[in-house]
Amino acid sequence: RVGARGVTEIARLLVERTELPALAVHLRSAIARRALGPDALIWICRERSNAAHDVFSPEVGASILNLLENDHLADGPRKTSRLQTLMTEDKKLLSDLVSIMDVNEARNFARRMLECAVFGELEKKSLMARVIKAKPETGELVSGESSKREEDLLVSWESLERKKTELDDIIRNRIPQNTREISVAREHGDLRENFEYKSAKDHQKYLNNRKTELQKEVTRARGTDVKGA
């Protein structure tokens, strides 16, 4: 792992070697797997109009919220403070992020942000104001005008299939593999100083949270071919 400065330096070297497309492929893959750390996400957000233009996508928003939520639930010192600070202090970040989402993606992102325990009430109001300015349709989440209609989440069929596939992979493969990793790590001695055990337990927490989140979304999701319907 490297810090934000390290990520910037690596990207600069890759630009000089005309190898930035390879970095973009790696970053997009890591974002899809929710495997990108806070420093890399900070770099993507800061470079969204430049070197990271091809990587800055709606999935970046989901990755940011995942990291903030998991860090909030984890034991130990916070690792995402600078990412949270960037989200609140960069006045254009949310606007730029939401503007590349369709209406349903923006609603889902805003709803999840409002439910995120990391942010205080005043922070949520400030952040939500930026979201609404970029996508006025999300304003109903605050006003409560759509409380009944929100029982169903309208998503594209492609998005719904992605969620089902990820949920199936978590249940069938990733959770059993993580359970085996925890069992192996337990055999390595003092659990208080066992890095492998702590990492496996942290990943277990993430997988369980993600499974619950996906189960809720899949249950409420209704596939549609109409964007923004």
Q: Residue 229 pLDDT more than 50?
A: no
Q: Residue 15 — pLDDT band, cuts 50, 70, 90? A: low
Q: Where are the domains of the chain?
A: 4-151, 153-224
pTM of the prediction? 0.60
Supply 107's token pair: 């609603």
CA 148 from centroid of its chain's CA atoms? 26
Distance between CA atoms of 197 and 189, rounded to whole angstroms? 10
* CATH number 1.10.287.180 given to 153-224: yes
> Is residue 73 very low, low, confident or very high in pLDDT (cuts 50, 70, 90)?
confident
Q: What is the mean pLDDT of the chain?
A: 83
- 212, pLDDT greater than 70: yes
Task: Give tens-digit pLDDT for 79-136.
Answer: 899 999 999 999 999 999 999 999 989 999 999 999 888 888 899 999 999 999 999 9
